[in-house]
Amino acid sequence: MRTLHIFGDSFSQPFKEDWVWTNLLGSKLKVDALSNRSHIGVSNDWIFANVRQAILGQGERPLVKDDVVVVVLTHPQRYWFFKDKPQFSNYMISNWDEFATEHDKGITEAIKGYVNYIQRDELDLIRTEFQVGWLKQMRNQIGFDLLILPGFDPIIDYSGMIDVLGDL
């Protein structure tokens, strides 16, 4: 049974409507099943953790040989700060105070401190390049088909991958 696995952020968020690109792709590829592990506001860390879980056979569908994998990369600056709040990865959101609970306000202050005093673009980029390199190696070892779609400006090395023009 061939499965289409989709991992990403809001660009690949699962919806029930047939016209959504993720569902259309599943129909076009004539796969037997569609597994979509995407969520709004998450980081590449969260995305790759979900890919790893699928490879290890954890979750709804294991990722196996001949499956199709689509990974929609998000911006490298997003960081998965808190395990139970992956949506807090996008620290560029300016209205956190509007949806954060009283308890979350301490979390948002901690993230602001990280952004203002610790975060470095070059380290975020290196981390993303390592994650993509790991995914390429998993593709080679397991034998699944892989497409990586950049959600933002494609600034990492995509050599050895299917060419994609632009970003989402």
- What residue spans of the chain are helical by DSSP H? 21-29, 44-55, 96-99, 104-117, 121-142
Tell me what the mean pLDDT of segment 5-32 comes to: 91
Encoded tokens for 38: 């995407």
Residue type, position 2, single letter: R
59 near 27, Cβ under 8 Å? no
For residues 43-70, average pLDDT: 94
Tokens 């808190």 correspond to 82
* DSSP, res 85: -
Least trusted range by pLDDT, from 10-19, 25-34, 50-59, 95-104: 95-104
CB 121 within 8 A of CB 74: no
Distance CA 40, CA 3 (A): 22
Q: What is the mean pLDDT of residues 86-103?
A: 76
Count Cβ neighbours within 10 Å for each residue of 14-42 and write b for 16 or more, e otherwise. eeeeeeeebbebbeeeebeebbbbbbebb
| Per-residue model confidence as pLDDT tens digits over 27-50 | 999 999 999 999 999 999 999 999
Q: Is the pLDDT of residue 138 over 90?
A: yes
φ and ψ of 15, to 5 deg: -135, 155
Q: Which of 40, 60, 28, 67 is nearest to 151 (CA)?
A: 40
67 pLDDT band (50/70/90 cuts)? very high
Question: Which residue type, as a one-letter code, is found at position 73?
Answer: L
Q: Which of 56, 58, 54 is nearest to 68 (CA)?
A: 54
- pLDDT score, position 29: 94
